[in-house]
Amino acid sequence: MVVMDVVEEGRYRFRIEPGPGMRVPGVVFASRALLRDAEQSLQQVGNVATLPGIVGASYAMPDIHWGYGFPIGGVAATDIAAGGVISPGGVGFDISCGVRLLAADCDRRALHPETLRAVMDGLGRVIPRGAGPGGVWRLSGVGQLERVLRGGSRYAVEQGQGEERDLWRCEDGGAVDDADVEQVGDRARQRGLGQVGSLGSANHFLEVQEVKEVYDGAVAAAFGIAVGQVCVMIHCGSRGLGHQICSDHVRAMDRAMARYGIEVPDRQLACTPVDSPEGRDYLGAMAAAANYGRANRQLLSQATRGIFRRRAGVRLSLVYDVSHNLAKIETHPVDGGGPRRLCVHRKGATRAFPPGHPELPPDLRDAGQPVLIPGTMGTASYVLTGVPGGDAFHSTCHGAGRVMSRHQAARTVTGGELRARLEAAGIAVRPLSLRSLAEETPEAYKDVAEVVAASEGAGLCRKVARLEPLGVVKG
């Protein structure tokens, strides 16, 4: 366990001075109020700072909370040429969990109450959700699953499940190219066969929203959103397949660490050098899971488009799709020096590339990367953009951040009470169960507006728009 000394460096920046075993300091972007909810997670920030090859700092976003090994809201980059490691705990179990935003070709006035009710009823019927199997696609077998793992959204679009815009408005053009399906074990494949095109459970959702406020009209126009517009936000990941891949590769790395002379303060930080056989195997399997997650959101988008078209005569276009649980090989300057090839872990943190970044699609190059931040069922969500000079390797928050366990949340309110409260506020709710609804009560989370304000105040991103819920489909 790392002993820590926390120093306030600015209104939204706290520094954890290096203690025994820490190779870099910790840096936490938060307000004082948000930091009070993160005390236990700060220990994990210090633990991550002990990883071999880590550079810059062990970073944490304003929505930081306790996670597996890494805190959720953690960012860490390791220098590959200097023996830097990759750790599955720095990605998490729901590999490529992320957010997709679709914009409708209508505003709120066109979605009359009876039309909204018909849309929500349709979504409640066609969107698969819950912890078990059941997805939009019934895969024909392992061969087709492998095509999903290699091709992600690209494969789904090739099969008629989308349009060309869905690819160039998605991170990595819809698929990570270096997926290695041979590193996806039999158990992971079995779990993945029956779940592609499904929300899952816990905090995953599909939400119909209205753009209530735009802070930057030019950037919002480039993204394709405007005040009053109807949008759909989808939050889900790679389901049981990603969970199993994480479990399998944590075990493999735990067995291999001694061979590389690596010791970590928490076994949940199991890791090996990025360029080791174990590191390359995990990167290949993680990329395959990322492609599964992209295909998952693509299929849910198509199912949603069908309901909006049939029930409301409305078309949905993709604004953007971005992951917040992923490790990526990127090039960044370090400590004022030249660029280095780094393995950037973002766990519960969103990539936020600035205007002009070469990885952005041409129509977004001047605006910057859309950053999609979901709130809670009863509050707002935000669209942000990356900014020049963004810290933490161009990363920012990913959501509101939990402050209560699901068990604690379910003790504070019944699902029936919460449903009545939300519907009284004009939010239509289609849950799979009332218990799962209660576990996600808004009080279980930090104030997303405060999280976004801290992220912007720390210079990590900039606000573009605020969206409020009209209806929610939950597992």
Contact 49, 78 (CB under 8 A): no
Q: Distance between the two ends of the chain, CA-based, in angstroms?
A: 37
> Distance between CA atoms of 293 and 305, rounded to whole angstroms?
18
Query: Is residue 398 annotated as part of the catalytic site, yes or no?
Result: yes
Residue 182 neighbours by CB distance under 10 Å: 11
> Whose structure tokens read 């939010």?
427
134's torsion region: left (phi>0), alpha (psi -120 to 50) or beta?
Answer: left
Q: DSSP class of residue 224? A: T
Identify any residues that bridge with 342 across adjacent strands, giving them in sequence order: 79, 330
> Whose structure tokens read 């928490």?
266
Q: What DSSP line would sit under 21-77, residue for residue? A: T-SS-EEE---HHHHHTTHHHHHHHHHHTTSTTEEEEEEEEEEEE--SSSPEEEEEE
Burial 315-344 (b: 16+ CB within 10 A, else e): ebebbbbbbbbbbbebeeeeeeeeebebbb
> Distance between CA atoms of 334 and 372, rounded to whole angstroms?
27
Residue 376 neighbours by CB distance under 10 Å: 22
- The DSSP element (H or E) to which 105 belongs, if any, is strand 98-107
Catalytic one among 112, 243, 398, 407?
A: 398
Contact 180, 105 (CB under 8 A): no
Active-site residue set: 398
